[in-house]
Amino acid sequence: MNKIFKNIDKLLETDLAKNSIKVIDNSGYTIEKIEPVAIESCMTPGTFRITPVSIKNENESIIFNNRRDKLKILVKDFEDGTVIVQTDEFIPQITKAKSQCTNCTNCGRCSW
């Protein structure tokens, strides 16, 4: 579910709980992408705690923050179309454990 924003008020009202943000220049090149932080539970693999991207409008800038990364764009660039903000659905990815695991905690990632 990709959504492109052209209005700052609509962008600020958007629920970003399960969405990533992509900033694109007017030629279609992706400048930056910021996603929610997904932390997989070690006791129940496949269960994630997701910290969503937050958004603030402050001092002529729009700031996206996910507690780990910060992305800042100018309101002027957004309003005149120099940059385009797009949301994408965020799906947490399960990463496979390395084949040289030691100190097994029975996490289940390697199907052991």
* DSSP string over 8-53: HHHHHH---TTEEEEEEETTS-EEEEE--EEEE-SSSTT-EEEEPP
Residue spans of the domains in the chain: they are 3-89
pLDDT confidence of 39, banded at 50, 70, 90?
Answer: confident
Report the pLDDT value the prediction gives residue 8, as an integer from 0 to 100.
Answer: 80
Residues constituting the chain: 112
Residues 53-104: tens digit of each pLDDT: 999 988 899 999 988 889 999 999 888 888 989 888 888 765 554 555 666 6
Taking the C-alpha atoms of residue 32 and residue 82, their distance in angstroms, rounded to an integer, is 14
Instruction: Output the pLDDT for position 4.
Output: 81
More confident: 63 or 109? 63
Main-chain phi, psi angles of 72, to 5 degrees: -125, 130
Q: Which tokens in the block code for residue 11?
A: 């962008």
- pTM (global) more than 0.75: no
Task: Concatenate the DSSP letters of all residues of 56-85 into one string.
Answer: EEETTEEEEE-SS-EEEEEHHHHHTTSEEE
